[in-house]
A and B are shown apart, each in its own frame.
Chain A
Amino acid sequence: QLQLQESGPGLVKPSETLSLTCSVSGEPISSGTYYWGWIRQSPGKGLEWIGSVYYSEYTYYNPSLKSRVTISVDTSKNQFSLKLTSVTAADTAVYYCVSQTSGVVDNWGRGTLVTVSS
């Protein structure tokens, strides 16, 4: 059964880079079965799709965040990662890693709270 688990710092300072990793079990990340993505949830903006990656090389980002986001894959560790630069308090949210099939979010990680504060 596919499982996803987020990891990374829970506190990031304003203007710095938020970095999270998602560990995938139950499916080789390079199989091509799924897109791998990130979604965040905050009280102010609800659920927001950040971006996805497919086959390690095709990336798709939300235009609202595209200038600050990088999603990458480490097939040797069966992980994928999120980097969000120049963070502000507005980036405080619960971040979920997810799998997607044709755009449908079909599996969610447990989520990790990231707070942006000095």
Chain B
Amino acid sequence: DIQMTQSPSTLSASVGDRVTLTCRASQNISSWLAWHQQKPGKAPKLLIYKASSLDSGVPSRFSGSGSGTEFTLTISSLQPDDFATYYCQQYDTSPWTFGQGTKVEIK
């Protein structure tokens, strides 16, 4: 199975900050990477697919980049609604696998 490793596990930030989350794959997955956002007690929600394509309705302050084994999710100006846990998911090779998550918390 392809292992997905996210860093950091927790990130403390303030409203308005620019934040960058990292996801690394244990082997080359080209651009077959998605990012999901999960708020407490809720289901995850797709934000980004194919490493950098925003899903419909996702604010433009979110952006994704990377290819191969290293990927980033950037929030250009953190908003109160963005405090959540973010998961990366590879869909290059079955079984599809997820990272362990990065929790973005209020500083």
Q: Which secondary structure dominates chain B's binding surface?
A: loop
Report the nearest A residue to B34, measured CB to CB.
A104
Q: How large is the interface on B (under 10, 10 to 19, 20 to 34, 35 or more residues)?
A: 20 to 34
Q: Indicate the member of A48, A105, A106, A110 with the most B CB atoms within 10 Å.
A: A105
Report the nearest A residue to B99, measured CB to CB.
A46
> With a CB–CB cut-off of 8 A, which chain A residues contact B55?
106
Is A96 part of the contact surface with B, judged by Cβ < 8 Å?
yes
Can you list, as one digit per residue, whether each of A90-107 has a CB less than 8 Å from chain B (1) or not (0)? 000000100000111111
Q: Which secondary structure dominates chain A's binding surface?
A: strand
A111 engages B34 (CB within 8 Å): no
Segment with Cβ contacts to A, from B17-25, B60-68, B70-78, B89-97: B89-97
A interface, CB within 8 angstroms of B:
46-49, 60, 62-64, 96, 102-111
